[in-house]
Amino acid sequence: MKALIALWARLPVLVRAVVTGILVAAAGTMPWALLVAANLRYLPALPWAVPPAALYLWLFWRFVSGRGGPRAGAATRRALCRANSLSPDAWALSLLAGVLGLATVVLLQRVMVRLVILPQQQQDAAAARASLATLALWVVMGSVVAGVVEETAFRGYMQGAIERRHGPMIAILVTGSLFGLAHFGHPEVGLVLLPYYLAVATVYGALAHLTNSIFPSMLLHAGGNMLGALALFGQGRSEWQASSRPVPLVWESGADVAFWLTVGSLLLVGAAAVAAYSALARLRASVG
């Protein structure tokens, strides 16, 4: 055991951070995936998977945040998790910056959908066997699991360690790339969507870096997943799509007024997002 610990300590920080983050993400998400699969097979009319998933998520959070579990290593887990409280001013600026950042990503996708063909996410046919109440509770629980687990794993355990060794730009690039690759398990997700996930990871990663807390990105991540699921089930539209119906590429139809209005909106909202992140950085500098 001592030899393994010594070997682990000799590994580069980047490798240790990536491996740790992946393990944390797997430990947090796999139980929920298994519970949903079992719920689909047995009594899909009842959302019985939600209570045990909520209990597991609570226990998971207490352990990874150093608030529960064995005392040995609790302080290290707490620091790696970055579950740090924020002042009201930091909360307000973080949410403003995050919302503007996500709005920028949405507008970027509205431009991208006119430039390249993006895949359409397919609804799970097996989910049709579940009741409306079951689907609704699955959406809520799945969004909370994604927000808590993925932010803890990627923006906490993984990004924080890489930041301290290589700086925020490399940390966000590495974390964002792995965040995108982690979604490649969905059949419709491929390399064409990697810029989308990198953009989303930049929004969340910059918040975590500037606040040293995963709470703002956790809240925005969970809320964004809920809205994305509602758009998919309600409108048949993927979270990265501007419309549930195919739209002509500018190479085929030309750059019309709608396209240039979208480009203009992207520039304006993007500038506002940069200003909000800059204000958050100044707030961080003012409080040391």
Q: Which helix (H) or strand (E) holds 107?
A: helix 88-112
Beta strands in 158-236 (DSSP E): none
What pTM does this model have?
A: 0.91
Quick count: other Cβ atoms within 10 Å of Cβ 205? 27
Query: By C-alpha distance, which of 118, 147, 142 is closest to 240?
Result: 118
> What pLDDT is recorded for position 119?
72
The answer to whether the CB of 103 falls within 8 A of the CB of 273 is yes
- Mean pLDDT, the chain, integer: 89
Mean local confidence (pLDDT), 227-232: 76
The answer to whether the CB of 123 falls within 8 A of the CB of 236 is yes
> What pLDDT is recorded for position 233?
65
The answer to whether the CB of 183 falls within 8 A of the CB of 115 is no
> What pLDDT is recorded for position 126?
57
> What pLDDT is recorded for position 77?
96
Distance separating alpha carbons of residues 1 and 50, to the nearest angstrom: 37
Q: pLDDT digits over 1-20, tens only? A: 778 878 888 999 999 999 99
pLDDT tier, 138 (very low <50, low <70, confident <90, very high otherwise): very high
Distance separating alpha carbons of residues 214 and 155, to the nearest angstrom: 7
Start-to-end C-alpha separation, the chain:
40
Query: By C-alpha distance, which of 47, 115, 151, 69 is closest to 251?
Result: 115
Mean local confidence (pLDDT), 150-176: 95
Quick count: other Cβ atoms within 10 Å of Cβ 151? 28
Quick count: other Cβ atoms within 10 Å of Cβ 16? 18
The C-alpha angle 197, 143, 62, rounded to 5 degrees, equals: 105
> What pLDDT is recorded for position 123?
58
